[in-house]
Chain A
């Protein structure tokens, strides 16, 4: 048996344990499961919504650049997973990202390019690290991760464009209120997780 075959067998054997857990939607895995993941995990949904609204508040050119960075950071996250990076606090960081992005949306004040870039890059990486599926095979795992990259990229783009389309004063205020709601929710859950 070649080393590669041995590795694959070992991978299948080791990954058999997480089968005790469940998919977010029973029976839905692989690419479809990955596509649905950002929509079905509330913390991810909040983070992506806040990040999207934040991007929608930025000038179009800046927003386009940050979107590219976000997608690149998602891919970096996939590479990190494949490279056996095993984070511990990724769920907390996702909530922290949601809280910070929500606050920035609520404040609606210009921030430095470095801060925007850092927030978006960290967001993409931790969202992926928090999206590792319990799959039985490498192929479906990889497909799920690809699905999550696609879904997260599309979702943040759609939210950003929807936010940009809201140009009336009351609409912009509504966006800021939603940002404050997301920040408040994320802060509370983060505190709960840190406390317990």
Chain B
């Protein structure tokens, strides 16, 4: 059959597209997905303390670490998440997460100031473990976008909370408070390790 009239061609083309490929298939609850993702790191105390420690350490190290670490962490965490989603095994993920709290907490408690690249590599390495754990638990379905956005933002908010608290280090009393918080985080990490 030859179709000569342009309008008819358009109508048939449109019909075939709409009938064959339901591309507007964004289903699921966006709000529920976002809130579920946001709650995921917030209700995992081992994630919380490590994220806060990243922010504390960034604030302690000052610029450019204060902004580099919160940028590096989610990106590397996503790489770890991809490994988790693809089922690539990483040994001792939970131990790695607990160790991140110990090491990052100690860095803050000891007021360690290594070169920036060392700090970035250290934080990035631990981000792999956190990302792997998150990635393995990402839900299937259309609201996965909202879920992942929720937990990435929650992670970032925890970093920012750490940075906000870490800015107290500008004052002597605040510096003591920040280092004490670092010590508490390290101790919490030791407890996580002991409970494994």
Which A residues fall within an 8 A CB radius of B? 3-4, 6-8, 10-15, 17-18, 21-22, 24, 37, 40-43, 46, 81-88, 90-91, 95, 103, 106, 129-135, 138, 141, 173, 176-177, 180-189, 191-193, 195-196
- B12 near A7 with CB under 8 A, answer yes
Nearest A residue (CB) for B23:
A132
16 further A-B contacts with Cβ under 8 Å, apart from A8-B11, A43-B145, are: A4-B8, A6-B8, A11-B14, A14-B16, A14-B19, A24-B26, A82-B14, A84-B17, A86-B17, A131-B24, A132-B17, A176-B67, A185-B149, A188-B135, A188-B144, A189-B138
25 contacts between A and B (CB under 8 A): A8-B11, A10-B11, A14-B18, A15-B19, A18-B18, A21-B25, A24-B26, A42-B30, A42-B145, A82-B14, A84-B16, A86-B17, A87-B23, A130-B23, A138-B10, A138-B11, A177-B71, A180-B75, A182-B149, A183-B78, A185-B145, A188-B138, A189-B144, A189-B148, A192-B85
Alpha-carbon gap, A187 to B143, bound state (A): 15
Binding site for A on B (CB under 8 A): 3-5, 7-27, 30, 33-34, 67, 70-72, 74-75, 77-79, 81-82, 85-87, 134-135, 138, 140, 143-146, 148-149, 152-153, 156
Q: How many A-B residue pairs have CB under 8 A?
A: 171
Q: In whole Å, how far is A175's beta carbon from the nearest beta carbon of chain B?
A: 11
**A194 → chain B closest CB, angstroms:** 8
Complex partner residue of A18 from B22, B143, B146, B153, CB under 8 angstroms: B22
